[in-house]
Each structure stands twice: as structure tokens, then as C-alpha cells.
């Protein structure tokens, strides 16, 4: 199982919102998923190579894109985002969102290599729930967008320390070493960027009404599992 993870920070309804977005897709489906995303970008956006026309939530869901659509003009970026969610659904992908308005948690990544942020801990627990429930005989791989050597190294250390030192069966479900890739050549990371951007708006879904159909698409792909006496969902808020 491949997990793609991205981060976002936005001001929404007067709140500073930080969110993690995740997409899970089976490794055996990923090449086909990539082929379809590239074919879509070639057809809709005129891409020539896989790295062309990188999809970013900030651009795809900008106000001007919705103004174009409302005026009866085609928005290629919104069309592309729609098709990405179609392809995600086709290959049985699952979406994950952890969001917060708590300023003490908004950094998402911890500055300490020995301490993983609460948001990332929550995301990893949700990933493990998916592995236990839907992919018990597989290993999950964590995939991030490249930033810079120092930041990526610190994030790797924090993740490894958590997975190795925390009690539980992490080694049965997740590889301890994450991967970092340039997002421009990774359809999985681009999908995670769209999910993260939209995920932040779950804090105030009525603020931008035009996003609601896309929020519904993210929610339709979320993972749900039994938790105590209820059902837990993979789109949720984290608090201090």
C-alpha cells in the first residue's frame, strides 16, 4: 500500500488552519493510476511530459477558476481536479485528512527529531487502521514531497523514532523509512495536495460554498472503521 502525504496552511473564516492530506492506493494499482492521470493531463491541460501541468490545490480551486465556470467558460484546472477524483475512485483509493486550528499544533512537523507532532501521529494511527482492516498482509510505504535536505532529514528521523520506539505492531504494517519525491512527477503527491487543500476547509465548509462538491468527493473516499462503540472516520480534527 502506498501512502502519499502533503501539508497545507490556510486562513479560512478568520482561522489559521493547518491540515495534512493523505491518499492511500494499492501498489498494484499505482502504475495504472499514473498512466490515467498523465493521459488526462495531456488531454485536458496539454501536458507533454509527466512533470508538466503539476496539479496544486491552491491553483485548481482558486476563486478565478470557479468564476470562469460560473460564467459558462470551461475551467481546465477544475476539470482536471474532477477527473483526478474519478481516477482515485476507480482504483479504490482512500483519503485521509487531519486538520487543526490550534496554534500549538499548526507547525505539523515537529522541530525535534525525537518527537513526532500530534497531527502526524494521528495520521499514522489512521494509516495503520487501514492496513489492519484492508491490507493486513501488506506493508505500507510513506511518500512525501521533497523540501530540502535538512527538513526532510529531520522529518525522517522523527518518523523513524516514532515507528521504532512506540509500542505496537508498526513494523507489521509500515516501512520505517519514508520516501521523498519531487511532486511534479508524482501523481500520488499531486492527489494528496488536492486532498490537503480541500481537507483544511472541513473546519468551515460553508465559507466557500463552491468547494462543497469537491469536499463531498474527498469525504466519499474516506476510510471508516470500528472504534470502540462507534465508527471512526479518516477525516477529522486534532486538538491539543
Q: Model confidence over 20-51: pLDDT tens digits?
A: 999 999 999 999 999 999 999 999 999 999 88
195 within a domain of the structure (yes/no): yes
CATH number at residue 156: 3.30.420
Give the whole-angstrom CA distance, residue 184 versus residue 69. 26
Q: Measure the CA–CA gap between 33 and 93, rounded to whole angstroms.
A: 10
The verdict on residue 40 lying in a domain is no
Residue 38 lies in a domain: no
Domain, as residue range, for 162: 2-28+93-237
Other CB atoms within a 10 A radius of the CB of residue 217 amount to 20
Which pLDDT does position 116 carry in this prediction? Answer: 86
Q: What phi and psi, each to the nearest 5 degrees, are found at residue 76?
A: -65, -35
Tell the residue number behind the cell numbers 481516477, with chain if given. Answer: 87
In a domain, 47, yes or no: no
Residue in the structure block whose three cell numbers are 470557479: 66
The kind and range of the H/E element at 143 are strand 141-145
d(CA 63, CA 24) in angstroms, rounded, equals 28
- Please determine, for residue 110, whether its predicted confidence score (pLDDT) is greater than 70: no
C-alpha dihedral sign at 189, 192, 193, 194: positive
- Predicted TM-score (pTM) of this structure: 0.94
- Cα-Cα-Cα-Cα dihedral sign, residues 14, 126, 6, 30: negative
Residue with cell 477527473: 83
**Greater model confidence, 116 or 1:** 1
Which pLDDT score is estimated for 151? 80
Closest CA to 184 of 37, 78, 44: 37
Quick: pLDDT tens for 63-92.
Answer: 999 999 999 999 999 999 999 999 999 999
Residue 157 lies in a domain: yes
Q: Which 3 state secondary structure label does DSSP give 127? A: helix
Q: Is 57 part of a structural domain of the chain?
A: no
Give domain status of residue 88, yes or no. no
- The rounded distance, in Å, linking the Cα atoms of 188 and 209 is 26
**Cα gap 90→17, rounded to integer Å:** 30
Mean pLDDT of 128-156: 89
Q: Which secondary-structure segment (H or E) carries 67?
A: helix 63-70
Work out the pLDDT band at 240, boundaries 50, 70, 90. Answer: confident
Domain tally, the chain: 1
Query: Is residue 132 a part of any domain in this protein?
Result: yes
CA distance 214 to 32: 23
Mean pLDDT for 163-175 is 90
Residues 199/97, Cβ–Cβ less than 8 Å = yes
Amino acid at each position: 500500500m502506498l501512502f502519499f502525504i502533503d501539508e497545507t496552511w490556510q486562513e479560512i473564516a478568520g482561522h489559521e488552519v493547518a491540515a495534512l492530506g493523505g491518499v492511500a492506493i494499492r501498489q498494484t494499482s499505482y502504475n495504472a493510476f499514473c498512466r490515467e492521470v498523465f493521459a488526462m493531463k495531456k488531454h485536458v491541460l496539454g501536458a507533454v511530459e509527466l512533470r508538466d501541468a503539476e496539479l496544486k490545490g491552491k491553483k485548481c480551486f482558486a476563486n478565478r477558476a470557479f468564476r470562469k465556470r460560473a460564467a459558462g467558460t470551461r475551467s481546465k484546472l477544475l476539470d482536471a481536479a474532477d477527473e483526478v477524483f474519478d481516477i482515485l475512485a476507480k482504483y479504490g483509493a482512500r483519503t485521509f485528512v487531519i486538520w487543526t486550528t490550534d496554534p500549538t499544533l499548526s507547525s505539523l512537523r515537529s522541530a525535534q527529531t525525537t518527537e513526532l507532532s500530534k497531527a502526524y501521529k494521528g495520521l499514522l494511527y489512521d494509516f495503520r487502521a487501514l492496513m489492519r482492516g484492508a491490507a493486513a498482509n501488506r506493508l505500507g510505504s510513506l511518500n512525501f514531497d521533497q523540501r530540502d535536505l535538512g527538513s526532510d532529514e529531520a522529518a525522517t528521523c522523527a518518523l523513524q523514532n516514532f515507528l521504532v520506539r512506540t509500542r505496537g505492531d508498526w513494523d507489521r504494517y509500515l516501512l520505517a523509512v519514508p520516501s521523498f519525491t519531487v511532486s511534479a512527477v508524482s501523481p500520488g503527491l499531486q492527489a494528496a495536495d488536492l486532498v490537503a487543500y480541500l481537507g483544511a476547509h472541513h473546519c468551515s465548509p460553508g465559507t466557500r460554498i463552491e468547494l462543497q462538491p469537491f469536499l463531498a468527493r474527498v469525504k466519499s473516499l474516506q476510510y471508516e472503521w470500528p472504534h470502540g462503540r462507534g465508527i471512526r472516520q479518516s477525516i477529522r480534527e486534532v486538538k491539543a
